[in-house]
Chains A and B, each alone.
Chain A
Amino acid sequence: MPIIEFRDVWYWYPNREKPALGGINLKVEKGEFILIIGSSGSGKSTLCRCINGLVPNFTGGRFKGKVLVDGAETLKESTNRIAKKVGMVFQDPENQFVMSTVESEIAFGLENQCLPRDVIKDRIDEALSEIQIESLRHRKVNELSSGEKQKVVMASILAIHPDILVLDEPTSQLDPIAADDIINLVKNLNENFNITIVLVEHRLESLLSYVDKVLDLDNNIFDTPREVIKKNPSVTKITALFNNLRKKGHSTEIPLSLNEAKRVIDRISINLKNKTDTVLIHDNVAIDVQDLHYSYSDSEVLSRINLKVYENEFVAIIGRNGSGKTTLIKHFNGLLKPKYGNVRIFRKDTSSVNIADLAKEVGILLQNPDDYLFSDTVQEELEFTSKNLGLSSDINDILKSLDLEEYKYSYPRDLSIGQKQRVAMASILVGNPKILVLDEPTRGIDNKSRDMLIDILKNLHRKGKTIVLVTHDVDIVAQLAERVLFMRDGKIIEDNPTRDVLLKYNEFKPQIAELFSNNNLITVDEVLDSLQ
């Protein structure tokens, strides 16, 4: 008997005409590892919530068909009973914490199962040990890093001893190292404890070769990874590259993982030209940071930062969470004033200019697009910035350039995350700033929105904008940036051309660079262009 079974499942959210799920059929056997992929709005999160009965028991709406978990129909079971079998990890760990310390958070789910104290204590010990976070036991949850928070969430779920673990983009808020930690943890739980895993994830590179089946909601395919990439060959950079090589006449299968790709590369002989960069000369300094120090209460967050960004340059800033990237860029438009040192924007010292005046020169798009959106329509959202800055920009032009024309009269908060990101960006670009600074713009967005963002940024750069991009997404850095600043512990430890930095640090090396570092190639396009 399958442990999860969907029988022709249809679901409509309340007051919606279009179904969020349309005729889903699938069977998952105990101990299987299932990966769910698809664009924003394809129903990934909704499907996850069907497994633990939140849809429709919690959300309401119209439901058709049957979801069976271990033979029991979720529609007829209480969420408390389903919670014993199905554990769920959501995107943002911050929104999942009920209690304020790690131990009490893990105890919460066990108390809900009305377990006696001694059992709860044993289960907490066990969960902390399984996830290897014993040292965090008495810490307050709001003092933890994002990666630690997500591990605590997983421990609190595992303590309940579920048969099934459902994870809805658990790494979307994490840096690459913390994300790898979580993915390895999930693999370990599947391998060593035979827990059935259902995982929604955008970082597919390290997963495709591991999972048993992939559910591609965009193409309505539920099959082994190898079968799925036959029908949808662009799911990862590696599969996209080898699919293109095939089209160019190379006889190759499409590898699922980096290791497999290395073996394929050894087998097929492809001749590549080495890549060398032309050094671009920029004259005018746009951002000039001299000996900047900044601290929050007692801890120093930025230390001895010296940096110049030139007009029409594209610079990326990379580094782990907490390395000081966001604190640094908040100095560029005066949101933060230097405690020591100077920040100058086109020679104007930010300490003596107010933020509203700096906003005309520097547009900053911070991490959460929701923080920007409050108006009833996209048009009003853009007009708000124009009014603040005393400008009369052509809103239609900006909407067109960001592919938002059809949403002009839509309520911004109802849009997908990728569309919201573009509306927030439009609300900055309407002020026509010479410098555009973006903080993690690809966080949580799907591949289609990501590709669209890449095109938009390329276009803006071509038109003369100076762009500073803070990101964990090394592929986008490889594709766009001329120069990379690598930050660690509040310091810039590397400031060099993109290729040099990405090839030097393993933790930030794109997978394509892992395959073709001998030829200095870091993107799919570069590899294809270098074919001899």
Chain B
Amino acid sequence: MVRINLKLGGDEVPSRFGNAYVWLLWLIIAILSGILTYNPIYLAILLSITIILSIVLNVNWISSLKTGLLFGTLPLIFNTFFVHLGSHVIVNIPRFIPIYGINIPILFISGNITAEAVLFGFIMMLLLIDMVMVFSIFNSVTIPDSLLNILPSSFGKSSLITAIGMRFTSTIQDDINSIKDAQLSRGLNLNKGNLIQKIKSRISLVNPTVINSLERSFNLAESMASRGYTGKRTKYYTERWLHYDFLNIFILIFILVTLFFLKFSGVLEYWPYTVLELPKLNTLMVISLILLMSPVIGNKNANN
């Protein structure tokens, strides 16, 4: 395969799965594919695509899926029990339940549990899982430093902060684990007591994590200042471009244009609260979603 350097003289970005511009564009389009529609079938297809991509690229998708489920359960619960809109009533929770002749009030959740609210909660859950999966793939296939190289210098400080943030995710995870070990060694039982007690017991993990992270940030800022960081800087790396990167950019732009075309022609619309009906499928949208797998072409080989 022919390798093309856009700029000569520097070193190339040490890439894992190919060109960072391609993956950044992929990230933007994958996010748009999710947020431009509430159609659960498209969201489910997007989820399947991210799982396939994760498997092919050897990304740990099970833990990302678990994280997505953890976040996604919240809107599902919230919508199901707190939103009472919709005409398809599954069950009605009364305002009072009589126990031994005493009427016990059911606070907040009394009212109709509707199919519309459950479905919308489910759509939100799917969307959140999709977003977690998309970011997990992006984090795994790109090296944080490459963001610094591909974003224009006007993004200088924000791209550096993003790059450092991405690198520090694993450090903070390590911090949380060692703090958890320390607190468990003091007899802390995270599973003891009611919900309030469980939340309180976790404060002993949150406080040191936040303080350690702040101290780490301060140390890092000192290190950057001592190495002369002011924001104005040259770039050592150039991005590696291969033939299929141009092909991928072309495919991704095609998906982007299709997405906006379908959005503005109303094909992507789905709103369960208006009319509860089966979501429609558009062939062009399905093809576009499948084409989101394109960056894996060639780039999987590039890594080998």
Chain A positions near chain B (C-beta within 8 angstroms): 49, 52, 54, 58, 78-81, 83-84, 86-88, 90, 92, 94-101, 103-104, 107-118, 120-121, 138, 142, 156-157, 160, 330, 333, 335, 354-356, 359-360, 363-368, 370-374, 384-385, 388-389, 413, 424, 427-428, 431
For chain B, the count of residues having a C-beta within 8 Å of the partner chain is 53
| A95 B237 Cβ-Cβ under 8 A | no
Q: Which of A94, A121, A374 is the most central at the interface, judged by chain B CB atoms within 10 Å of its CB?
A: A374
- Give 13 CB contacts A-B under 8 Å: A52-B226, A95-B219, A96-B220, A100-B143, A109-B228, A111-B234, A112-B230, A364-B185, A370-B215, A371-B179, A372-B186, A374-B211, A427-B186
Given contacts A79-B226, A94-B171, A100-B145, contact A111 B233 (CB under 8 A): yes
In the complex, how many angstroms separate the beta carbon of A356 from the nearest chain B beta carbon?
A: 4
In the complex, how many angstroms separate the beta carbon of A419 from the nearest chain B beta carbon?
A: 17
Q: Which residues of B contact A360 (CB under 8 A)?
A: 187
| B220 A83 Cβ-Cβ under 8 A | no
| B227 A109 Cβ-Cβ under 8 A | yes
| B234 A359 Cβ-Cβ under 8 A | no
Give the contacting residue for A117; candidates B9, B171, B175; CB below 8 A. B9
Question: B204 contacts the other chain (Cβ, under 8 Å)?
Answer: yes
Question: B119 contacts the other chain (Cβ, under 8 Å)?
Answer: no
| B220 A95 Cβ-Cβ under 8 A | yes
Q: Which of A98, A110, A160 is the most central at the interface, judged by chain B CB atoms within 10 Å of its CB?
A: A98
Give the contacting residue for B236; candidates A88, A117, A367; CB below 8 A. A117
Q: Which residues of B contact A54 (CB under 8 A)?
A: 222, 225-226
Question: B229 contacts the other chain (Cβ, under 8 Å)?
Answer: yes
Question: B182 contacts the other chain (Cβ, under 8 Å)?
Answer: yes
| B207 A374 Cβ-Cβ under 8 A | yes
Give the contacting residue for A359; candidates B170, B186, B235; CB below 8 A. B186
| B170 A371 Cβ-Cβ under 8 A | no
Give the contacting residue for B234; candidates A96, A117, A333, A363; CB below 8 A. A117
A432 and B222 alpha carbons, distance in the complex (Å) = 41
In the complex, how many angstroms separate the beta carbon of A20 from the nearest chain B beta carbon?
A: 15
A101 and B181 alpha carbons, distance in the complex (Å) = 29
Q: Which residues of A contact B228 (CB under 8 A)?
A: 79-81, 83-84, 109, 112-113, 160
Please provide the 5 A-B residue pairs with the shortest distance between their CB atoms, ordered closest to farther.
A83-B228, A388-B187, A371-B182, A95-B219, A374-B207
Give the contacting residue for B188; candidates A83, A87, A388; CB below 8 A. A388
Which B162-193 residues have a C-beta within 8 angstroms of A?
163-164, 167, 170-171, 175, 178-179, 181-189, 192
Question: B144 contacts the other chain (Cβ, under 8 Å)?
Answer: yes
| A374 B233 Cβ-Cβ under 8 A | no
In the complex, how many angstroms separate the beta carbon of B251 from the nearest chain A beta carbon?
A: 28
Give the contacting residue for A101; candidates B14, B179, B186; CB below 8 A. B14
Chain B positions near chain A (C-beta within 8 angstroms): 9-11, 14, 143-145, 148, 160, 163-164, 167, 170-171, 175, 178-179, 181-189, 192, 203-204, 207-208, 211-212, 215-216, 219-230, 232-237
In the complex, how many angstroms separate the beta carbon of B191 from the nearest chain A beta carbon?
A: 9
Q: Which residues of A contact B216 (CB under 8 A)?
A: 95
Given contacts A98-B220, A108-B227, A371-B179, contact A138 B184 (CB under 8 A): no
Q: Which residues of A contact B188 (CB under 8 A)?
A: 356, 388
Q: Which residues of B contact A115 (CB under 8 A)?
A: 234
In the complex, how many angstroms separate the beta carbon of A328 from the nearest chain B beta carbon?
A: 14
Q: Which residues of B contact A363 (CB under 8 A)?
A: 185
Give the contacting residue for B186; candidates A83, A109, A121, A431; CB below 8 A. A431
Give the contacting residue for A98; candidates B11, B223, B234, B237; CB below 8 A. B223
| B226 A83 Cβ-Cβ under 8 A | yes
A79 and B229 alpha carbons, distance in the complex (Å) = 8
Given contacts A83-B227, A100-B144, contact A359 B233 (CB under 8 A): no
Given contacts A121-B10, A355-B185, contact A374 B208 (CB under 8 A): yes
In the complex, how many angstroms separate the beta carbon of A353 from the nearest chain B beta carbon?
A: 13
In the complex, how many angstroms separate the beta carbon of B88 from the nearest chain A beta carbon?
A: 46
| A366 B185 Cβ-Cβ under 8 A | yes
Q: Which residues of B contact A330 (CB under 8 A)?
A: 181
Q: Which of B164, B225, B229 is the most central at the interface, judged by chain A CB atoms within 10 Å of its CB?
A: B225
In the complex, how many angstroms separate the beta carbon of B208 from the nearest chain A beta carbon?
A: 5
In the complex, how many angstroms separate the beta carbon of B167 from the nearest chain A beta carbon?
A: 5
Given contacts A84-B228, A98-B224, A138-B14, contact A428 B185 (CB under 8 A): yes
Write the chain A residue with the least CB distance to B144: A100
Q: Which residues of A contact B183 (CB under 8 A)?
A: 371-372
| A120 B234 Cβ-Cβ under 8 A | yes
Given contacts A100-B167, A372-B183, contact A116 B189 (CB under 8 A): no
Write the chain A residue with the least CB distance to B207: A374
In the complex, how many angstroms separate the beta carbon of B194 from the nearest chain A beta carbon?
A: 16
Q: Which residues of B contact A96 (CB under 8 A)?
A: 219-220, 223
Q: Which residues of B contact A142 (CB under 8 A)?
A: 167, 170-171
A359 and B189 alpha carbons, distance in the complex (Å) = 11
| A88 B226 Cβ-Cβ under 8 A | yes
Give the contacting residue for A79; candidates B164, B186, B225, B235; CB below 8 A. B225
Q: Which residues of A contact B233 (CB under 8 A)?
A: 111-112, 114
Q: Which residues of B contact A373 (CB under 8 A)?
A: 208
| B189 A354 Cβ-Cβ under 8 A | yes
Q: Which residues of B contact A52 (CB under 8 A)?
A: 226
| A371 B226 Cβ-Cβ under 8 A | no
A64 and B300 alpha carbons, distance in the complex (Å) = 60
Q: Which residues of B contact A428 (CB under 8 A)?
A: 185-186
| A335 B181 Cβ-Cβ under 8 A | yes
Q: Which residues of B contact A58 (CB under 8 A)?
A: 221-222, 225
| B226 A112 Cβ-Cβ under 8 A | no
A120 and B10 alpha carbons, distance in the complex (Å) = 9
Known: A370-B208, A385-B187. 10 other contacts (CB 8 A): A87-B226, A97-B220, A98-B164, A100-B145, A100-B167, A108-B227, A113-B228, A370-B211, A384-B204, A388-B187
